[in-house]
Amino acid sequence: LYACEVVHARLCRIENEVDAQGRGWQITDKMRKQREQLEKKFLALTTKGDLK
């Protein structure tokens, strides 16, 4: 569960940074890739049944 929470917190932080920059702000490729990796990691953790 801890790993899931950490990954989810990072996703939320990226979302918040994007919101803070305003709607017209373009997400950098680096941030988008980072977010995609985190989402995959989060999905993998939640579907594997690691929520003990």
Contact (CB, 8 A) for 40 and 4: no
SS3 label, residue 1:
coil
**pLDDT higher at 50 or 4:** 4
**pLDDT higher at 14 or 9:** 9
Per-residue tokens: 30: 């680096």
Would you state the pLDDT for residue 49?
Answer: 60
Determine the average pLDDT of the residues in 1-12: 78
State pLDDT tens for residues 14-41: 777 766 665 545 566 777 788 888 888 8
